[in-house]
Structure 1
Amino acid sequence: MEKDIQKIEEFFYRNHKQVNNPIIKSFLLDSQNLYLVQKAILYPTDINKKLVDESFQSHYMNVRKTKYVSNLIYFFSLDFDKKRRRLQNRTLLVLDKGLSKDGGTTAKELIEDTSNEKKLNHIVGEGLLDNIGDEKLFNSLKKLTVKQLQILEMIYVKEFSIKEIAQTLQTTPQNISNLHRNALNKLNNTLKKRGE
């Protein structure tokens, strides 16, 4: 028994470079494979060598398959991530870009503000909504966006010119005119619907 252990240790010592190979190490970690190798060292018959060889080939094929699948997953995930980023960059949601070629109204300005009345009064200031006595007009004004309300207040309450409003809001006079026109059209349409 002690001679057998010594013979096995000598074999592994002589072949320590090959045994340190990661594939061989993983092969020897399996107790059944280790038993086959020890048996082939102690009794070096053709059958024992053939059993070790077949077992190692099977192990090696499994390692190769695992490596192949691992690489597939890695490269497909990289490719998927590139495609996802490319798609995201193509379909950006830009709310502050003009809807028409000449700039004009933006998608952000067309989104109806559903915040409460206090927020509107705070942003617009106490002026336009406080000076409206007609309930229909008041409710119609609340349907406008905050920017449209700001522009109407600056024009009709504070008596700013279009250029002054454009400078204050850091935009073009044409954009202010478009917003003013859109606000008046929206008010007109809302009042017509309520009048019917």
Structure 2
Amino acid sequence: MEENDELTFFMNKYSGALNEPIIKEFLNDENNRDLFIEAVTLNNQEKMNELDIKFKDFYHRARLYKYIQSLIKLYSIDFDKRTRKKCLDTLLF
């Protein structure tokens, strides 16, 4: 099987997973995309392990970013509620 055929077969077989936003974002990076193509077409275990490590790091960072983003948003909402309550309590007395 040619390298291009192997890549096409892989892309068709795992098209659902490859359409996930996190994977699309990961493969937007040219280095990651090249490593992915190399790992799939050459069926090289060392490249697959390297790709796996890079994806795990990327996924961890994405999750951490999402957590911090949510934390900031929720803290801002909570802060606004407390501030409004203090203002309302002060006006009532």
Shared fold by TM > 0.5? yes
Matched residue type, 1:63: A
Please say if 1:20 is aligned against 2:13: no
In structure 1, the partner of 2:76 is: 77
Structure number with greater Rg is 1
Q: Aligned Cα RMSD in Å?
A: 1.6
- What is the CA distance between 1:9 and its match in structure 2? 2.2
- The CA distance in 1 between the partners of 2:87 and 2:4, in whole Å, is 64
Tell me how far apart the structure 2 counterparts of residues 28 and 42 of structure 1 sit (CA, whole Å). Answer: 16
Query: Structure 2: which amino acid aligns with 1:14?
Result: K
Q: Which residue of 2 aligns with 1:6?
A: 5
SS state of the match for residue 83, structure 2?
A: helix
Question: What does 1:169-188 align with in structure 2 at a 5 Å threshold?
Answer: none
Paired residue for 1:31? 30
Measured in 2, the distance between the counterparts of 1:62 and 1:48 equals: 21
- 2: distance between equivalents of 1:91 and 1:6? 72
| Larger RCO (CA under 8 A, 6+ residues apart) | 2
**Structure number having the greater helix percentage:** 2
Q: Which runs of 5+ in 1 are unaligned?
A: 95-196
TM-score (norm 1): 0.44
Give, in whole Å, the separation in 1 of the partners of 2:6 and 2:44.
16
Corresponding pairs, count:
92
Where do 1:80-159 residues align within 5 Å? 80-92=79-91
- Write the distance in 1 (CA, Å) between the matches of 2:79 and 2:8: 50
Q: State the Cα distance separating 1:14 from its structure 2 match.
A: 1.1
Corresponding residue for residue 47 of structure 2: 48
- 1:22 CA drift (Å): 1.5
Q: Is the 8 A contact 2:4 2:41 kept in 1?
A: no
Percent identity between matched residues is 32
SS of corresponding position for 2:91: coil
**1:46 Cα deviation (Å)?**
1.7
Q: Which amino acid in the other structure matches residue 71 of structure 1? A: S
Unaligned runs of 5+ in 2: none
Q: Which amino acid aligns with 1:78?
A: I
State the TM-score, normalizing by the size of structure 2.
Answer: 0.89
Offset at residue 71 of structure 1 (A): 0.9
